[in-house]
Structure 1
Amino acid sequence: MVKAPNAPRRRESSRLAVLTATRELCEENGYGRLTIEAIAARAGVSKMTIYRWWPSKGAVVLDLIDEAAAVTADPPDTGDLAADLHTQLSEVINLLTPQPTSPVTGVITEAQYDPDLARALRERLIEPRIAKFKDRLRRAQEQGQLPVDADFDVALDLLFGPIYHRLALHLGMPDPDYLDTLITHVLRALNPPPHRLDGAATA
């Protein structure tokens, strides 16, 4: 007896083939040269199949990134805030390199011109990770490693801003020594020295 085709399984197989093809093409040629036509040809599906699930190549790549990340992991919490921040920043740098083949870099660039992609990027990848970052700072605050009035939004901008600044202006990603210096200065800014009654900072 011939079994009827399993439509859900076939759809999932096609979806995975599209994501695999997208990853391979990004690695081979970079995001800039990626096209829906090339993805369809590599995956062995029609363009209409792709457009039935994704509105653009950026949306396909966003799914690829999300699939690789799987679940937003909690940031490391070893008790050493500086070391944990170094790990987090290093993971972001690894996602953004090598340039220009990094699919994450490509999606960030395309999101500047595609409001729907920008919204999906924020909701699915950026905002959950910002929330986890702030949770880590909040735990450090509860442990007395940060003052009660520490501004987590400012901390976010101070720590991650230099990475995206360097990305946007093609200045090269920070090396580990730079990250150590950056984290030291940011934590120093978040933990200002106490002041004497005469207004001078204590040594």
Structure 2
Amino acid sequence: MATVTAKTDGTEPKRAPKLGQINRTKEQVLDATADLLKEIGYRELSIDRVIERSSVARSTIYRHWNNKAELAIEAFDRALGPNPPTANLGSVREDLIATYKRFPKILERSIWGTMLPSIIEASKTDPAFEGLLSNFVNARKENMRELFNRAIDRGEIRKDTNIEWAIDTLSGFFYHRLLMTGEKLNEDGLAEWLADSVLSQIKS
């Protein structure tokens, strides 16, 4: 049942917005923000431009986000969609190979090339962005942590494995090529080579 605000002046009580309406408005703002990030980047992004693009009131935007930094990172997260699950084939090597063979397909989406550089720049230049990107990345790494923890439980890799090092080594290779060198992300044998290189350091 919708919440009703009490009135004492004889006028009709004002109904609070329904959850579905609130969510649709937030999505409208986030989609507008994502489009602006692609077009003009974080540096030129402003709440005024989001208001103009989304046709959502300033008061509504500030009800959900404190500043453009919070808005930008949430828009990026929404644009990426749900964190894809990792493979679970019963072997850590097969899991890693399957996961990183499809990783290039994920990174080939235009959003990575159009939005990620701007988000990285923001994390280095805007004090309001402090911690937002690292928190975002930390949450996105959770599926890979589960993959390695399964391997530990199966006795395939050492219990003292530094999982963060392993994830950063594997994923970082692809981000380096995507953002720095422009080299191919899907070369034959690459996923196998990366998996074997990391596993050689942590096998039990």
TM normalised by structure 2 equals 0.69
1:120 is the counterpart of 2:121: no
1:39-188 superposed matches below 5 A: 39-47=50-58, 49-67=60-78, 75-89=86-100, 90-91=102-103, 94-95=106-107, 97-98=109-110, 99-101=112-114, 103-123=115-135, 125-172=136-183, 174-177=185-188, 178-188=190-200
Cα deviation per residue 1:27-81 (whole Å; 9 max; x = unaligned)?
5x26356443332112112445434533443321321244456766653322132
- Give unpaired runs (5+ residues) of structure 1: 193-203
Instruction: In structure 2, give the amino acid aligned to 1:36.
Output: I
* Of 17, 34, 37, the match for 2:28: 17
* CA distance in 2 between partners of 1:85 and 1:34 (Å): 38
Report the CA distance shift for 1:25/1:115 in structure 2 as closer, same or farther (over 3 A): closer
Q: Which moved further from structure 2: 49-58 or 132-141?
A: 49-58
* CA distance in 2 between partners of 1:57 and 1:153 (Å): 30
Report the CA distance shift for 1:39/1:62 in structure 2 as closer, same or farther (over 3 A): same
* CA positional deviation for 1:111: 1.1
Report the CA distance shift for 1:25/1:68 in structure 2 as closer, same or farther (over 3 A): closer
Count the aligned residue pairs.
189
- Give unpaired runs (5+ residues) of structure 2: 1-10
Aligned residues: CA RMSD: 3.5
Contact 2:86/2:144 (8 A) holds in 1? yes
* Of 14, 21, 33, the match for 1:4: 14
* CA distance in 2 between partners of 1:21 and 1:45 (Å): 10
* CA distance in 2 between partners of 1:121 and 1:92 (Å): 21
Contact 1:93/1:173 (8 A) holds in 2? no
Report the CA distance shift for 1:184/1:110 in structure 2 as closer, same or farther (over 3 A): same
* Of 41, 46, 59, the match for 1:31: 41
Report the CA distance shift for 1:64/1:144 in structure 2 as closer, same or farther (over 3 A): same
